[in-house]
Amino acid sequence: MNTTLNISAYKFVALPDAAELRVTLLERALGLQLKGTILLAEEGINLFLAGPAEAVRGFVTQLQADARFCDVAPKESWSDHQPFKKMLVKVKNEIIRMDHPTIVPAAGRAPAVSAATVKRWLDQGHDDSGRPVVTLDTRNDFEVDHGTFAGAIDWRISKFTEFPQALLDHQTELQDKTVVSFCTGGIRCEKAAILMREAGLEHVFQLEGGILKYFEETDGSHYTGSCFVFDERRALSADLSVTK
């Protein structure tokens, strides 16, 4: 019986009050008996929470009452147990570490494409302008090994901070193609897409909501294997069920 709602969400937005917000969000989550991890930084918020649906959605509603988070749209999946051991709220330098300070997503996103659009492009083998489409996996190598899009470019990085150098090494391979960067939930591929745009690649998009949103909104076609997640569920299938 899948009674535990799991959500993930992020938003790049200026949070100069991250330290104060940490206290507020921790108290709120503990009060609702939620477990998971919330990362805060001056660049934004990244959260993974699990618990009874009413409590989880209540937390999201309270979060959205803050105008900075009014458009946060969590990705949802279900499990038959609580996949987190405790509730942690941390303040960090970056909500996803890239060590590339010129990348400021809150100042402007790279263009995003919906799951349905990516599926259609992959179905037809090109984008709407007839340009060849490639998918670029921005995740760590061990995550990719669980599953990825068929034919996806995989630079075998072991941590996200290696992505900028990998781009320098392989940028010419991406010229004259439409590049769709993707990751688990959208946060890494958003930074990656901005970096690629700044490097001069014109036709770069991020998969809105990442693999989890693709699973949620399509039949999962063109994706092979499962999607690694950073909790006790380990990996999810295209129907968002826990991989057996």
The mean-pLDDT minimum among 67-76, 85-94, 99-108, 195-204 falls in 99-108
Is 119 a member of any domain? Answer: yes
| Integer Cα distance of 29 and 34 in angstroms | 5
144 contact partners, CB below 8 Å, separation of at least 6: 137, 152, 154, 156
Q: Give the model's pLDDT for residue 173.
A: 94
Instruction: Please compute the mean of the pLDDT values over residues 183-209 and round it to a whole number.
Output: 96
Summarize pLDDT for 22-52 with one digit per residue, the tens.
999 999 999 999 999 999 999 999 999 999 9
Nearest to 69 by CA among 78, 60, 77, 56: 60
Based on the domain organization, do 162 and 209 belong to the same domain? yes
pTM for the model stands at: 0.92
Strands 153-154, 227-228: pairing is unpaired
Among 46, 66, 91, residue at a domain's last position: 91
Based on the domain organization, do 152 and 82 belong to the same domain? no
Other C-beta atoms lying within 10 Å of the C-beta of residue 55: 17
| Integer Cα distance of 178 and 88 in angstroms | 38
Is 35 a member of any domain? Answer: yes
Q: CATH no. for residue 56?
A: 3.30.70.100
Known catalytic residue at 189: no
Is 32 a member of any domain? Answer: yes
Q: CATH no. for residue 152?
A: 3.40.250.10
Find the farthest-apart pair of alpha carbons in the chain and give their distance in angstroms, rounded: 52
Among 42, 64, 91, residue at a domain's last position: 91
At residue 1, does pLDDT exceed 80? no
Secondary structure (3-state) at 112: strand
Residues 211 and 223: beta-carbon distance below 8 Å: yes
Q: What is the DSSP string of 139-163?
A: S-HHHHTTEEETT-EE---SSGGGH
Note down the domain range covering 20: 4-91
Among the listed residues 70, 183, 189, 227, the single catalytic one is 183
